[in-house]
Each structure stands twice: as C-alpha cells, then as structure tokens.
C-alpha cells in the first residue's frame, strides 16, 4: 500500500535535538504566564496636561520616605522597596499576591523634562508625578507672513 519512497523516515535520535529545542522554547514562553515582570511594577498611567506629563503610579503600603524619583533627560525613574507585612502570631497567609522587595521602573517620555520643576505627591497609595516639559522642547507656533 505505502512504499518507503513516499514517506521520509528519520531516526528518533535525529529528531531529538529539534524536539528539545521546541520544548525549551515552549517552557520559556509559558514560564511567566500570569506573573508580572519586574519592569511592570509599579503600574502607571501617563497623560499630557498643559505642557507637562502626569504620571500616576499604584504603590499601596509603601512608605513615601523610601521612594526615590529621579529624572534624567527624557527618562523618569521610580524606585523603592515594598516591605513584607508582619503577621501576628498564629496568622498565616491564605493568598499573597502583592510583591515584596526592591523595585525600579524607568519610564521614557517623548520629550525632555525640566527636572527643576518636577512635583511629586503621595496620597492613599497613589504616587502622582508632574513632569514639566523643557521650554525649548515645547512646540512653537510659526507665524506665516
């Protein structure tokens, strides 16, 4: 019915390296499913308002004194440490989804930031940073003559 000329036969030992590569790639793709990667923390919203960028970042339970915000050119860096909650004796976690430890997030904006006029405030677990644009980087209206 079928002759060997119709099908290409390969030995199992010839296909094993390809199978192992495929397995390694699948493991890499699905290893972080459902987990946030470090560059995604803290979650942020960014919008432009009156020549400034406004960033809001979710940082529940963080001591504002332990937050560090730095600006360099068109990049703002938010870093700090989320401390472990201490449980009373006899208490155990049933679920622990909030991350602990050090974090650092670099956010690049489409314009240069005036570092001298940056404002930041922290209220109810939300960090708000107002990043004014450098005056020379603002769009200029050209008058047609």
DSSP 125: T
**pLDDT, tens digit, 9 for 90 and up, residues 125-138:** 999 999 999 887 66
Note whether residue 142 is domain-resident.
no
State mean pLDDT over 114-130. 94
**pLDDT, tens digit, 9 for 90 and up, residues 8-28:** 555 656 677 788 888 888 887
Note whether residue 83 is domain-resident.
yes
Note whether residue 145 is domain-resident.
no
Q: What share of the chain is helix, strand, coil (3-state, %, to 5)?
A: 20, 35, 45
Give the structural domain span for 73.
40-135
Give every strand in the sheet of 44-49, ordered side by side: 44-49, 52-58, 126-132, 119-123
Note whether residue 2 is domain-resident.
no
Note whether residue 12 is domain-resident.
no
Note whether residue 75 is domain-resident.
yes
Counting the structural domains of the chain, the total is 1
> How many Å apart are CA 86 and CA 84, to the nearest integer?
6
Domain CATH code at residue 51: 2.60.40.790
Contacts of 84 (CB under 8 A, 6+ apart): 100
Note whether residue 24 is domain-resident.
no
In the predicted structure, residue 47 carries a pLDDT above the cut 90: yes
Which residues share a beta bridge with 77?
A: 70, 106
């Amino acid at each position: 019915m079928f002759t060997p000329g119709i099908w290409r036969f390969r030995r199992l030992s010839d296909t094993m390296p390809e199978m192992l590569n495929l397995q390694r790639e699948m493991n890499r793709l699905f290893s972080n499913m459902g987990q946030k990667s470090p560059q995604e923390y803290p979650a942020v919203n960014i919008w432009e308002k009156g020549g400034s960028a406004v960033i809001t970042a979710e940082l529940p339970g963080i001591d504002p004194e332990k937050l560090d915000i730095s600006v360099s050119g068109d990049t703002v860096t938010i870093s700090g440490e989320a401390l472990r909650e201490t449980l009373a004796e006899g208490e155990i976690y049933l679920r622990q989804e909030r991350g602990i430890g050090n974090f650092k997030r670099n956010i690049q904006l489409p314009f240069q930031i005036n570092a001298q006029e940056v404002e930041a405030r922290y209220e109810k677990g939300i960090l708000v940073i107002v990043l004014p644009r450098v005056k020379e980087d603002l769009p200029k209206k050209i008058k047609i003559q």
